[in-house]
Structure formats: C-alpha cells, structure tokens
C-alpha cells in the first residue's frame, strides 16, 4: 500500500488544528474530516458535502478510552463492543457528553463514535490527539462523514475523493493516500444510547460486523431500525446512488429482464452479476462481481462509480443472497436502486 510520509500526516493534523478539512482513508470508506471540537470546522464539512445540518456525523477517536471525552453515561456494553471490535468498522451511538457542542451530532442528544483500524487513520488521529494535548485541550476527535457529496456513492480510494471534491483539492485540502478501502462499505452502526434505561441494542446500519457478532458479544438480541431510533442519513430510502439508472433483479429473472430492457431502450446496458451470462447479447456490458460477500463489498462502490464512466444507459444488478453475511451489501444495493424507483431507464 502507498502510505503518505509522516511529514504529510503531521501537516494534515496541523490543518485539522487550524479548522481546515482533511480527507483520509479508513478501512470502510474515505472520510472528510474536521476537528470535532471546532463547530466552525464541522460546519465546513456540511457545506462541502451539501449535507442537511440536522444529519449527525461520526467522531473518530484514536482509542476506546477517548470515547469518554465525547460521550456521557457510557454503558458497560459500549466498552465490551469497543474491546471486541475496535479499532474496526463499528460505530457506537451513545449519549452525547454535556460539554460537547450539539452541532457535531446534528443537534441530537446522542453522538456517534468510532475508532478506525486503517493505519493512516490511526496515525492521523494519534498525531492530532498529541497536538491537542500540547495545547491543553482534553478532547481529541475527528468528525468525518464519508468523503462524498450528499446522497452519492462513498469513496473507497483517494482518486474517488479527488473526483468528488476537485474544488477543495485545488484549494489545498490534503487527501491522505491509503490505497483501496479494505471493507468498502460504511461501518456497522449500533445504537446503545438507551440501554441503561432498558432500551434495546439496535442496528441502525448493517456493515461488515454483523448483528449476530454484536449479539454474541453482548448476549442480548439486536433489534433492527426502530421508529424511535435516532436519524441516520444512510438510512434514507434512496442513498449511495450513482448517476446511471440502475435496478435490482433476482437471479432467475435476469435473462428475461435483460431482453426486455434491450427491446425497449437505446444504448448499452451494464449487467452486474456474480456469474457469467451464458451468452452476452450485443449492447450488453458484463460486469463480473465476486461470489463472496466481503470481496463484493470491497468492490461495490468502485463498480458503481465505474458505471458512470462506462457511459451505459442503464444497469441491472443481480440481487445478492438474503443471508446475514450479505446484509450490508444488500442494504447498499437496495438504497442505490431506490433512487431510481419508477425510473423506466433502469427498468
């Protein structure tokens, strides 16, 4: 993996200290970071992404102990999950510490925290925490949503970020290089904010760490998204969408859907599937995906971005298995396709 020089990471940490934005790699997707303790810097993230201000961002910390600076009344379950899965692709929703500015959590009483495992993210967070300590500040955290414009596909490589934010990069925003994100889809989000009042442990966003894994550590059931659950922008029905219209299709119906599309549309159609088609009709571009859920997730967003570059008129994606290991990928595919529901170009 290409890794930025230490001096570049230090320069990025100093940019964060000045309230500037920095894009950095994580094992899930690339993040657009700002000093979480600086409301003006956090506001810059919202402006850059075009994200509504009531949508909260995740605070990234260097180690589990640092969660205490951002969260109040931390339940034992949070420490258990941190011990089992951090650093790693898991975000915990907890009560916001009373001294933390509400802006970082979209005005909510809760806050999302995560300790990422990517070595570049770790190094950036450690250097940043060190600089904060030197200035006598007790709270070190980097607020970072995925480094994409609101509603679009998350970036899983530095060039993706450079495409999304060419204007900011041209104005000097550092983009730390960290290779292709290993996991490729965003962290699992688990809400623990009401467990101390007898509330459920709720899965707000599926990801590489499954509900079953969480449940096995906590020894309680993990419930799905509740009406009372905190807002999650990734939980909007339509999200993660490329510009190319796309539709999901069961494996059995794929061949007939391809024929129907070709007879009613001009241009080319991309077919994204886990097996080769028995014969590839003219005007069809076959895009082969891995049969393993982890490998599929790793490639998913780069594939969706490539769709836009292929110049196809539409895309059909073969539905993935309805199994726990595929929950994260299935969720992202469903939301990407939902952006085009009722759109004949993808149908």
111 binding partner (options ligand TXA, Mg ion, none; Cβ < 5 to 8 Å by kind): ligand TXA
Kindly state the tokens that stand for 110. 């809760």
User: Which range, of 226-234, 244-252, 253-261, 292-300, touches ligand TXA by CB under 6 A?
Assistant: 226-234
Q: How far out from the chain centre does Cα 244 lie?
A: 20
149 versus 344: smaller Cβ distance to ligand TXA = 149
One residue of 23, 58, 214, 300 binding ligand TXA per CB under 6 A: 58
CB 230 within 8 A of CB 105: no
CB 46 within 8 A of CB 128: no
Q: Cis omega (within 30 of 0) on the bond before 29? A: no
- Which of 255, 310, 264 is closest to 287 using CA atoms? 310
One residue of 28, 91, 146, 303 binding Mg ion per CB under 5 A: 146
Other beta carbons less than 10 A from residue 76's beta carbon: 11
58 binding partner (options Mg ion, ligand TXA, none; Cβ < 5 to 8 Å by kind): ligand TXA
117 versus 156: smaller Cβ distance to Mg ion = 156
User: Which range, of 78-86, 134-142, 182-190, 247-255, touches ligand TXA by CB under 6 A?
Assistant: 182-190
Q: What is the DSSP letter of 18?
A: T
103 versus 314: smaller Cβ distance to ligand TXA = 103
CA-based torsion, 78, 326, 28, 44: positive or negative: negative
**155: Cβ–Cβ under 8 A, 6 or more apart, which residues?**
29, 30, 146, 147, 148, 161, 163, 164, 301
146 versus 229: smaller Cβ distance to Mg ion = 146
* Cα–Cα distance for residue pair 59/56, rounded to 1 Å: 10
* Cα–Cα distance for residue pair 200/183, rounded to 1 Å: 27
User: Which range, of 12-20, 156-164, 181-189, 218-226, touches ligand TXA by CB under 6 A?
Assistant: 181-189
Is 189 a binding residue for ligand TXA by CB under 6 A? The answer is yes
CA–CA distances in Å: residue 91 to residues 19, 60, 258, 318: 24, 9, 39, 29
Other beta carbons less than 10 A from residue 5's beta carbon: 8
To Mg ion, the closest distance from the beta carbon of 28 in angstroms equals 10
User: Which range, of 56-64, 213-221, 252-260, 278-286, touches ligand TXA by CB under 6 A?
Assistant: 56-64
Size of the site for ligand TXA (CB under 6 A): 29
Binding to ligand TXA (CB under 6 A): which residues in 306-345? none
Helices (H), the chain: 6-17, 39-49, 67-70, 76-85, 119-134, 158-164, 166-170, 211-218, 254-264, 293-310, 327-338
Is 193 a binding residue for Mg ion by CB under 5 A? The answer is no
One residue of 87, 103, 155, 234 binding ligand TXA per CB under 6 A: 234
One residue of 4, 56, 178, 297 binding ligand TXA per CB under 6 A: 56
As beta bridge partners, residue 271 has 286, 316
Binding to ligand TXA (CB under 6 A): which residues in 102-141? 105, 108, 110-112, 114, 116
Is 230 a binding residue for ligand TXA by CB under 6 A? The answer is yes
Is 156 a binding residue for Mg ion by CB under 5 A? The answer is no
Quickly tell me which residue has 């998913």 as its tokens. 300
- How far separated are the first and last CA of the chain, in Å rounded? 39
One residue of 4, 88, 103, 145 binding ligand TXA per CB under 6 A: 145
The footprint of Mg ion (CB under 5 A) covers: 146
Question: Contact residues for ligand TXA (CB under 6 A)?
Answer: 26, 28-29, 31, 55-58, 91, 93, 105, 108, 110-112, 114, 116, 144-146, 186-187, 189, 204, 230-234
């Amino acid at each position: 993996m290409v890794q930025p020089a230490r001096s570049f990471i230090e320069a990025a940490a100093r940019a964060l200290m000045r309230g500037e934005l920095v894009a950095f790699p994580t094992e899930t997707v690339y993040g657009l970071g700002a000093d979480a303790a600086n409301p003006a810097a956090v506001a810059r993230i919202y402006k850059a992404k075009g994200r509504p201000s009531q949508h909260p961002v995740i605070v990234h910390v260097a180690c589990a102990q640092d969660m205490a600076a951002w969260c109040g009344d931390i339940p034992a379950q949070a420490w258990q999950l941190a011990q089992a899965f951090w650093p790693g692709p898991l975000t915990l929703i907890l009560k916001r510490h009373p001294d933390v500015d509400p802006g970082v959590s979209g005005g909510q009483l809760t806050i999302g925290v995560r300790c990422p495992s990517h070595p570049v993210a770790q190094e950036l967070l450690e250097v940043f925490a060190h600089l904060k300590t030197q200035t006598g500040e007790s709270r070190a955290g980097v607020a970072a949503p995925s480094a994409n414009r609101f509603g679009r596909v998350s970036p899983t490589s530095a060039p993706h970020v450079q495409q999304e934010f060419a204007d900011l990069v041209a104005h000097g925003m550092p983009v730390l290089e960290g290779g292709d994100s290993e996991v490729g889809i965003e962290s699992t989000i688990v809400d623990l904010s009401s467990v101390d009042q007898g509330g459920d442990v709720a899965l707000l966003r599926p990801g590489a760490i499954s509900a079953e894994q969480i449940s096995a550590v906590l020894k309680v059931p993990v419930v799905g998204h509740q009406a009372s659950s905190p807002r999650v922008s990734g939980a909007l029905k339509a999200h993660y969408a490329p510009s190319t219209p796309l539709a999901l299709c069961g494996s059995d119906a794929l061949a007939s859907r391809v024929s129907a599309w070709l007879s009613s549309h001009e241009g080319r159609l991309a077919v994204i599937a886990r097996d080769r088609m028995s014969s590839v009709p003219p005007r069809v571009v076959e895009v082969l995906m891995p049969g393993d859920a982890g490998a599929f997730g790793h490639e998913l967003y780069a594939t969706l971005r490539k769709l836009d570059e292929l110049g196809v008129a539409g895309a059909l994606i073969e539905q993935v298995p309805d199994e726990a290991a595929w929950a994260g990928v299935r969720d992202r595919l469903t939301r990407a396709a939902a952006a085009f529901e009722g759109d004949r170009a993808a149908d």
